[in-house]
Structure 1
Amino acid sequence: MYTPNLTATDGEVYVALLDTTQVFPATIEENRWNGFTVPRFRRTVAESIATWLNTMHDHDPGKWTDTATFDGDVLTVLETEEHRPDRIEPDENDRYAIGYRGWCWILTVPPSDPQADAGLLADSVRLVPEDGEILVTINIDGTDPVFPSLASEIYGWSRAGCPRFRRTVAEVVVAWIRDTARKYPGGSDLAYWEGDTIVLVDHQAIGEDGYLPARITAAEDGRFSIGASFEWERAD
């Protein structure tokens, strides 16, 4: 199966077609179409989408009826059953609106390594509290990890505050978010690292006009405030 390795550039997010796992970076329009994202892809990504569509068609033409070819700068997507060509020319930013307001694109995250996440979650040394830290958790099934953190500088420990995690702990928090999404894929939030930035995708908001994933950078003290809308609980 075709699995391109494509990384988002500045201003891009990750999208996938509904009920598929192949992920592509894109810019997205502010307004949704029936709750779905409206993406635009740079040329190299559009070429990868064309190759992916053709591979899926070859694998299962009954389910994947579209094929795609480039002719110069024009991408033609052909629905083979109806023989209806969709000619897609690059816009003023040299991007291609593939499946424009017709395909069910959703916001998602790039693939992650379950074994790497499991290794982080098993690294108990990372979760030893330092002086002044409190322990917090989100109790989903009674087996969720406990994370050392500092309380909010503004609100202290309260529902209005957000725990602040050291980088080594923040890496475990992100691994836990991803692991939770694998266990409960229907409505869990998603997260990934983009360099030194955490990108957090609120699953409940992905269909809302104007929504973009939250980008969390370290404060001056090097700590990350993760999950302002999460139901964190004290565990100490």
Structure 2
Amino acid sequence: MHTTTIAPLAAEPGEWYVELDHTPALPVPYRIGFPAWIAADRHPADPGDPEGRRWVRPRFRPEVAAAIAAWLGSVACGARTVSGNGWMVITEATVDGIPGREHRFILGIDGYYRLEWSSRVWHWFVSAPTTDDEQMHATAEKLLAARDSWTLESGEQWVSIDEPYFPALVVPESWNGFANPLFRRDVADAVVAWVNDIYRSYGDDQERAYWDGDTIVHVHPAYVDEDGYTPDRIAPHEGRYAIGGWEWCWSATDTRPTDPDPAPTTAVTARPGQEITA
């Protein structure tokens, strides 16, 4: 994977992270998440795309647009950027001696840039803050190493999707016969890291999660193409987080079997949401 010196930028209230998928100009995917406002409607699917992806329509603050332009110049496409007060010109790389096209962007009256070539759709999709495979795996290993010290608190059971096992309160109502767990904060940290390690192992059709203060943001790939979709925000309720409740195939037991080293597995999920509280 290519690297970049672009400093990660934090999302402001109302913004989500978007990532640029691979294109002819960017032959490999880069896990660089840029904060953006996202329009409710998606681009129509390209008739030539067998997956029928519908890409998001992001708007970027000027400092984010400048970071994107600098990043484009640091990766495979070799774009060049000139900017002024309220405008920006991005020139595509020269290929086989043929100069790249210029694309001019004007700052909108809303104070945001819409970075799209006039001739093609940029493949932006809802993602997460900038990270990398090594960081995701190291975080999961560190937090899951604590599982040997976990014990059940009052009323808790062990829950799992295969392995590993996590301690959680389980609400009385089940979902299609599966448990609906509520995790305390230290265990929720490990669940989030485990989810991201699954993503690292299996790719973009898996779910992602990240922390925004004391709230978990859950990105569900099955719904990112849908008009109006934004990631779930899982707020704590009485110190507990409802991660995967009413959508993941959690099983519960009072006795934890011996945990092997947790190999990433996949979680079966069922529905989108907007704001989830325990």
Q: 1:158: Cα distance to partner?
A: 5.9
Match of 1:119, SS?
Answer: helix
The question of 1:42 aligning with 2:61 is answered yes
1:69/1:116 CA distance change after superposition, 3 Å = same
The question of 1:12 aligning with 2:19 is answered no
1:232/1:98 CA distance change after superposition, 3 Å = same
The answer for the alignment partner of 2:157 in structure 1 is: 134
Q: Which of 103-112 and 121-130 deviates more?
A: 121-130
Query: Which one of the candidate residues 26, 31, 38 is aligned to 1:21?
Result: 31
Give the alignment's TM-score, normalised by structure 2.
0.74
User: Deviating runs (4+, > 6 A) in structure 1?
Assistant: none
Give the alignment's TM-score, normalised by structure 1.
0.87
Write the deviation string for residues 165-187 of structure 1: whole angstroms up to 9, x where unpaired.
11111111111111111111141
Cα distance in structure 1, aligned partners of 2:248 and 2:158: 15
Q: What residue ranges of structure 2 are gaps of 5+ in the alignment?
A: 22-28, 46-53, 255-278
Match of 2:115, SS?
Answer: coil
The answer for the alignment partner of 2:139 in structure 1 is: 116
After superposition, the CA RMSD in angstroms is 2.1
Letter in 2 for 1:79: E
Q: What residue ranges of structure 1 are gaps of 5+ in the alignment?
A: none
Provide the aligned length of Structure 1 versus Structure 2: 224
Q: 1:65: Cα distance to partner?
A: 5.5
Query: Which one of the candidate residues 191, 211, 223 is aligned to 1:193?
Result: 211
Larger RCO of the pair (alpha carbons < 8 Å, separation 6+): 1
Write the deviation string for residues 91-131 of structure 1: whole angstroms up to 9, x where unpaired.
23211111267100111111343323311111125632112
Match of 1:94, SS?
Answer: coil
Q: 1:74: Cα distance to partner?
A: 0.2
Write the deviation string for residues 180-236 of structure 1: whole angstroms up to 9, x where unpaired.
1111114110000011000000011111111100001111x2111111311111243
Cα distance in structure 2, aligned partners of 1:206 and 1:69: 32
Match of 2:158, SS?
Answer: strand
Q: 1:54: Cα distance to partner?
A: 1.6
1:83/1:178 CA distance change after superposition, 3 Å = closer
Query: Which one of the candidate residues 113, 129, 143 is aligned to 1:96?
Result: 113
The answer for the alignment partner of 1:226 in structure 2 is: 243
Match of 1:102, SS?
Answer: coil
